[in-house]
Amino acid sequence: MSSSPADIATLHYGDGEFVVLKPGRAVVCAVTGKPVPLETLRYWSVSRQEAYAGPTEAFQRLGQMP
């Protein structure tokens, strides 16, 4: 999926849910920089307020937490 900046959503990540602050079709994975369609978004960090493409990316990023 290629996304233009207009397609990128801004979200607030909560425990088990997210709120769309700026509409879009995808968010950017904090690890890979690739777009993640909102309908497939399952992994994010509440404390870092960032999204991950999948469990591998989430584990990789969250393993860096102090």
pLDDT of residue 38: 98
What is the rounded CA–CA span in Å between residue 60 and residue 19?
Answer: 24
pLDDT of residue 59: 94
pLDDT of residue 62: 84
Q: Spell out the domain ranges in the chain.
A: 5-61
pLDDT in tens, 3-62: 677 799 999 999 999 999 999 999 999 999 999 999 999 999 999 999 999 999 999 998
What is the rounded CA–CA span in Å between residue 26 and residue 35?
Answer: 6
What is the rounded CA–CA span in Å between residue 18 and residue 29?
Answer: 15
DSSP states of 12-45: EE-SS-EEEEE--SEEEBTTT--EEEGGG--EEE
pLDDT of residue 6: 73
What is the rounded CA–CA span in Å between residue 26 and residue 36?
Answer: 5
pLDDT band at 63 (very low <50, low <70, confident <90, very high): confident
